[in-house]
A and B are shown apart, each in its own frame.
Chain A
């Protein structure tokens, strides 16, 4: 097994500072957050430029080049509702450290994101949903199959699709979390890779409880085969949990000072 892949989520237009930086084409705040995440062990950086209906293509290219030029061609997940912007970003993307990830496709309106990834030899995050959160695992697996078929028909390697089972919020939907874990296990058993936005799990919980929930879910998900996540790598507890689970799963070698490296 290869080790758990961390996709850093902190360059996101939902943050006012980042939103402003995109508007001003100001590199500083973006580079700062990129560096923090990479220092904390992020493997990929998510670059969310928002809906970017106007000027999205130019903005995505600017962002991709900014990150790759400053951080040794760091691999990036290109994240926006503007497909043209993703395509533009891939045009200037350097693949030496890993394929670009298209974020994201689903089995509904956004199924064409799979086509986009296939046409550009990219990976794609495939949400196992059509609209909103799927009701049960039959739905999850049906959407998973649909997305997989779509990709394979267009020549993708199955392992270039990262299936997101959609984590549900504990507060309110607690009884369904085991289903998500089961879905991860089922998808893994098919020889496929998974990912997901983990922090949704603890949405609405008090600040001191959130890391505990996130870490517990992550550990349990990793036992089911969960292979990557879109998270805040600067969350020390989460990062340490990932390392510890990677060791338990024999994905990385143990050493006494493993956490300090």
Chain B
């Protein structure tokens, strides 16, 4: 947030002494706000005030790095409450929770699932980033499990309120592990552990006021590498806290709450997978930074990772799919070719309808600048030359013996030109809306 002239003005002596070279304190303040003159030009603004001012120019929400090496990720750093206002910069992370009370077999099964649910979606790998390990009774086993998490390339979250247990476990956790963490009873000891290990310290308290007080206390102890637990007592409280904490940071200029959040969806809806999915979805939109689930199988991962990918796209840069020829419904080298643009949404809609039709087909996606069909066409990115070149350069004629090339109905105007450029192909105008594709393809096949 830019500092307004008014904020500077409040710190001036308001005497209009002119020593800064400006006629009034207000005029000076306005100029200073635009960076046109350094604040130091006013001899009467105190050091304390200057510090306040630099605080005021700091971003409202800190960016906190978690994890080491390839697993490193950044949380927070947001400047707006809603993605349309600018963009959301750092996607939330998903976590699952284990404990030292689990049998070795259960632990192995959990790690196997972490390996399995790991796939590419429009150029982004989808997997669980954080593994929380809750301390129950066996400190040695606990530490071993934490180390196993780090060794597996995941970001460990160490859940214990016992500073000694945390200290032992964090030793094998790598840098920037998360210790969950500090409470009003152990704050000083936990800060020491986190500081020594360069760990991110999670802060938990009973209620939002107590959390605020505790964060202030921990900041006074000299540690600002924090994440905040939105609460586990009830869904109501967790949701309200997540929203209130973020709102205080972004709108209320409350730096104490300018930290990422942790949401224990697994504790808010114990043993209820679908409710945990519902909560995770809600917190992807409303300010969860790390969302912890009991487990993450495909039924949760497919929709939740997809949702996250959507919400954290830059509104100025629409998602694009890789330009290439895609195959649907197991084509066998004699099936028709459809064409559309590389705008992810267009691709998905068309792909979904081809799948629904069950008709084997190829889908050619040239580089169309990431625009929708009509926009790309209007911008000259999806013209007959672009399409023809793509078909030739990718040797599409070698992929299939069919010579049917289906254009989106909205660019029917390209049919003539394209037929000239690709004389061996039969250029067919497809439907205007993807919805009509299944019927169209089935009719074509018949």
Chain A residues proximal to chain B, CB less than 8 Å: 138, 141-142, 144-145, 148-149, 152, 158, 186, 189-192
Contacts and interface: CB of A to CB of B under 8 A. Distances in A.
B356 interface: no
Given A189-B33, A190-B30, A145 B6 contact: no
Interface string B21-38: 001111101100110000
Interface string B374-406: 000000000000000000000000000000000
B132 to A, nearest CB: 42
B59 interface: no
B77 interface: no
Contacts of B14: 145, 149
A190 B4 contact: yes
A152 B29 CA distance: 16
A190 B9 contact: yes
B5 interface: yes
Contact of A142 (B6, B9, B24, B33): B24
A186 B6 contact: no
Contact of B24 (A141, A152, A158): A141
Nearest to B4: A191
Contact of A141 (B4, B10, B26): B26
B24 A145 contact: yes
Given A138-B23, A142-B16, A189-B30, 18 more contacts: A138-B24, A138-B27, A141-B24, A141-B30, A145-B14, A148-B6, A148-B26, A189-B4, A189-B5, A189-B33, A189-B34, A190-B4, A190-B6, A190-B30, A190-B33, A191-B4, A191-B5, A191-B6
B6 A141 contact: no
A190 B24 CA distance: 14
A195 to B, nearest CB: 18
B53 to A, nearest CB: 15
A165 to B, nearest CB: 14
Contacts of B9: 145, 190
B27 A141 contact: yes
Contacts, number: 40
Nearest to A192: B6
A145 B25 contact: yes
A71 B331 CA distance: 69
Taking chain A's interface residues, is the majority helix, strand, or loop, or is none over half, making it mixed? helix
Given A190-B4, A190-B6, A145 B33 contact: no
Nearest to A142: B24
Contacts of B5: 189-191
B165 to A, nearest CB: 50
Interface string B1-24: 000111001100010100000011
Contacts of B34: 189
Nearest to B33: A189
Given A189-B33, A190-B9, A145 B4 contact: no
Contacts of B25: 145
Nearest to B3: A191
A8 to B, nearest CB: 29
10 contacts: A138-B27, A141-B26, A145-B26, A149-B14, A189-B5, A189-B30, A189-B33, A190-B4, A190-B9, A191-B4
A123 B12 CA distance: 25
A160 to B, nearest CB: 13
Nearest to A149: B14
B2 to A, nearest CB: 10
A190 B33 CA distance: 9
Contacts of A158: 6
B352 to A, nearest CB: 30
B23 A142 contact: yes
Contacts of A138: 23-24, 27
Contacts of A148: 6, 26
B307 to A, nearest CB: 25
Contacts of A152: 10
A64 B26 CA distance: 37
A15 B27 CA distance: 40
Contacts of A191: 4-6
Interface in B236-287: none
B4 A144 contact: no
B23 A190 contact: no
Nearest to A190: B5
Contacts of B10: 152
B237 to A, nearest CB: 31
Contacts of B26: 141-142, 144-145, 148, 190
A179 to B, nearest CB: 15
A197 B24 CA distance: 27
Contacts of A142: 16, 23-24, 26
B427 to A, nearest CB: 36
A186 B24 contact: no
B171 to A, nearest CB: 50
A175 B27 CA distance: 23
A145 B27 CA distance: 9
A138 B25 CA distance: 12
Contacts of B23: 138, 142
Contacts of A192: 6
A154 B62 CA distance: 35
Nearest to A186: B30
A166 B9 CA distance: 23
B252 to A, nearest CB: 14
A110 B21 CA distance: 30
A227 B416 CA distance: 54
Contacts of B24: 138, 141-142, 145
Contacts of A190: 4-6, 9, 26, 29-30, 33
Minimum-distance CB pairs A-B, first 6: A145-B26, A191-B4, A190-B5, A191-B6, A190-B6, A142-B24
Contacts of A149: 14
Contacts of B29: 190
A186 B6 CA distance: 11
A159 B221 CA distance: 37
